[in-house]
């Protein structure tokens, strides 16, 4: 008798159950999961080191200019003076613009990261399913846009 058996519940999908190998069930190998998690961790570490370095270099730049009159001091004092009441809204507008830009990039990155996982789940449930044509990053396919 063969070690490979087709179970009754999974025969519609053609899943072959092998008692010696769980890979045929669609479970990822633990080695691959560990490697993927290590690469995710490496990416986060590199990102954290980059942001820390940028913060440190910003600190050094501010420290070297401390106590000196520069164009930045003149512009900043102009915007923050009590005579001008339109300086603060511009500063807030720039801050919120930068926040929105970074938030959008992060959201697109997360959508793209989850796209592969969703595609694999959809293929497991219904192998004949076709995609909607949306790009992996969540944007509309250029062929679908109207002029």
Global pTM?
A: 0.40
Q: Which of 79-83, 115-119, 140-144 has the highest mean pLDDT?
A: 115-119
**pLDDT for the residue 80:** 74
Where does the chain show beta strands of DSSP type E?
4-6, 16-18
For strand 4-6 and strand 16-18, is the pairing parallel, antiparallel, or unpaired? antiparallel
Among 32-41, 51-60, 108-117, 126-135, the range scoring the smallest mean pLDDT is: 126-135
Phi-psi region for residue 111, left (φ > 0), alpha (ψ -120 to 50) or beta?
A: alpha
Structure confidence at residue 59 (pLDDT): 93
Q: What are the structure tokens assigned to 61, written together?
A: 């730049």
C-beta of residue 107 within 8 angstroms of C-beta of residue 86: no
pLDDT digits (tens, 9 = 90+) for 53-84: 999 999 998 888 777 777 877 777 777 776 76
Classify burial at 18, counting beta carbons within 10 Å of its beta carbon; exposed 0-12, middle 13-18, buried 19 or more. middle
Q: What is the average pLDDT across 93-118?
A: 90
Measured between alpha carbons, how far is residue 50 from residues 38, 47, 55, 56, 99 in Å? 18, 5, 9, 10, 18
Residue 134 near residue 108, CB atoms below 8 Å? no
pLDDT single digits (tens) 84-104: 677 778 788 999 999 999 999
Counting residues of the chain whose pLDDT is more than 90, the rounded percentage is 24
Mean pLDDT over 39-55 rounds to 96
Is 70 exceeded by the pLDDT of residue 137?
Answer: yes
Tell me the two tokens of residue 85: 């009441």
3-state secondary structure of 34: helix
Average pLDDT, the chain: 78
Higher model confidence: residue 110 or residue 18? 110
């Amino acid at each position: 008798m063969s070690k490979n058996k087709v179970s009754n519940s999974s025969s519609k999908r053609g899943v072959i159950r092998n008692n010696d190998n769980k890979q045929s069930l669609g479970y990822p190998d633990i080695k691959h999961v560990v490697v993927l998690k290590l690469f995710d961790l490496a990416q986060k570490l590199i990102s954290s080191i980059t942001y820390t370095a940028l913060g440190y270099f910003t600190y050094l730049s501010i420290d070297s200019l401390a106590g000196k009159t520069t164009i930045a001091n003149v512009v900043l004092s102009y915007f923050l003076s009590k005579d001008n009441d339109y300086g603060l809204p511009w500063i807030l507008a720039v801050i919120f613009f930068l926040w929105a830009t970074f938030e959008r990039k992060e959201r697109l990155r997360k959508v793209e990261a989850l796209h592969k996982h969703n595609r694999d789940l959809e293929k497991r449930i219904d192998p004949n399913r076709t995609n909607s044509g949306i790009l992996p990053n969540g944007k509309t396919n250029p062929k679908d846009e109207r002029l």
